[in-house]
Chain A
Amino acid sequence: MRVLQIIEPAYRATLEEQDDTVLWFTRAIRAAGAPADVLLCGTAVNYTVRGQDAEGFQVGGWTQQHPPAIEHDLTKLIESGARVAVLAEDLAERGIAAEAMLPGVEVLSRRSLGGLCAQYQRIWKW
């Protein structure tokens, strides 16, 4: 039973959680045997940009020790065998060029969404 996780909102509570909770969830269910892939769309396409640094969050005397590392988390997901795709139109709207992106991310046109979805038995839109 193949699963497509479609992720749209980005950076939702990532400082509090120290990760993106849907990417985290995807890694967790993959570890439990779920053949889950990821499609990033909307603001979440920004997750594919290399060199992001979330260090420096400080509240009073409290300083974050482990800021979210989305680039690392996405890379781990790809290394585990997951397909990670992103919508070309949403990249273009945000001015994200191919050379700025993580290697291993597949760029798909919005027109290909129907065919993509047809490859999965479960599609969960987050």
Chain B
Amino acid sequence: MSTLTFLLMDAPYEQARTSTAFRLIDAALRRGVGVRVFAYEGAVSLPMTSQKPHANAVHGRTLEEEAHPTPHAWVGSLIELAKSKGVSFDWVNCGLCVDDRGANDVVEGVRRGSPADFWKMNLESVNTLVIPTR
């Protein structure tokens, strides 16, 4: 099975790069390509379960109607997608970045690691895409 590695760096709700990265990962999994994700710096907050959807008075929608996106739900959904497709998926949060930000409560299946894990992921992959912050 082919595998791709992605390094993400942007914090949630900051950049279009984040949703683009999730679309790329989704597309890879749907094509049967295994995915490794290393979340660096602000990206370690993407799988945080304390993110909450909210109503939106400007949109004139209730909590339920708004169905506001939360990146932790996207991470969980990717984990489920990978399971359903029978392909491998591994999400590693940079441990020091987690400590910096107190980003401890994360989606089940996300683990803590270091740049050495990123290097190992890269060696297991046919290619690696770094999507840095600006």
Q: B-contacting residues of A (Cβ < 8 Å)?
A: 1, 9, 12-13, 17, 21-22, 25, 28-29, 31-34, 122, 124-126
Contact = CB atoms under 8 A, between A and B. Distances in A.
Nearest to B120: A32
B40 interface: yes
Summarize A's interface: helix, strand, loop or mixed.
mixed
Contacts of B128: 122, 124
Contacts of A29: 115-116, 118-119
B132 A125 contact: yes
Contacts of B118: 29
A31 B119 CA distance: 10
A25 B115 contact: yes
B114 interface: yes
Given A21-B41, A28-B114, A125 B130 contact: yes
A101 to B, nearest CB: 25
Given A28-B116, A34-B119, A122-B122, A9 B40 contact: no
B122 to A, nearest CB: 7
A17 B99 CA distance: 12
B123 interface: yes
A28 B130 contact: no
Contact of B132 (A1, A28, A126): A126
B134 interface: yes
A32 B115 contact: yes
